[in-house]
Amino acid sequence: MKGYLKLRKRSLEILNSKLPKDLSYHNVRHTLDVANVVNQYIRREKIETHNAYLLRIAALLHDMGFTVTKIEHEQKSMEMAEKLMLEHGFPLKDIKIVQGLIKATRVPQSPQNYLEKIICDSDLDYLGRNDFYEISNLLFKELKNASIITDENEWNKAQIKFLQTHQYHTVFAKKYRQPKKEKRISEIEKLIKK
């Protein structure tokens, strides 16, 4: 898709230079992880080329709003996506689809179509992966730095609540991520001090 590679380069430049350094989870590493998982879905599900590019763009831009705000960042990400995509010659129809994909990642997630289900499951793929603890510790550090979480016990309680209410949306994630996520719930429950 014309303009995609330039948009990718520009979005990574913005994320690398403007994301606050105290974001240990919502950083370029997370963005690239989501983009990588999206690419796995594209190959596995044989997503047609145009939709594949829109998914890739949304993965790159879904947390762009963190460069400006930590509150309602999805809304800011949608605004920034529109600006960047217009600058790179994308039609309004594609911009609206990408904005819908970004909006779908807002927690609690409520995807409205199959592409939105893919980006939602890509965004929280780690919940059912072997690197869960490594990644969740980065989120704990980020939330602790922001004084949203005070200690590990409070974090574990918050994680249990989140993991129990979170739902995967794609057949793949339900089959291959959900079982490990359920295992994490029982592991973390044992860590909670009453």
Mean pLDDT of the region 80-91: 97
Could you tell me the CA-to-CA distances from 105 to 5, 35, 64, 86, 112 in Å, in that order? Answer: 23, 13, 12, 22, 11
Q: Which residue has the higher pLDDT, 3 or 134?
A: 134
Looking at domain 1-123, its CATH superfamily turns out to be Hypothetical protein af1432 (1.10.3210.10)
% of the chain beyond a pLDDT of 90: 96
Q: What is the dihedral of CA 159, 185, 21, 76, to 10 degrees?
A: -60
pLDDT band at 3 (very low <50, low <70, confident <90, very high): confident
pLDDT at position 73:
96
156, 188 Cβ separation under 8 angstroms: yes
pLDDT band at 111 (very low <50, low <70, confident <90, very high): very high
- The structure tokens listed for 148 are 């949203």
Domain map (residue ranges) of the chain: 1-123, 125-194
Single-letter code of the amino acid located at 194? K
* Count of Cβ atoms closer than 10 Å to residue 110 Cβ: 12
Q: What is the pLDDT of residues 141-190, one digit of tens each?
A: 999 999 999 999 999 999 999 999 999 999 999 999 999 999 999 999 99
Whether 117 has a pLDDT exceeding 90, the answer reads yes
Single-letter code of the amino acid located at 139? L
d(CA 75, CA 73) in angstroms, rounded, equals 5
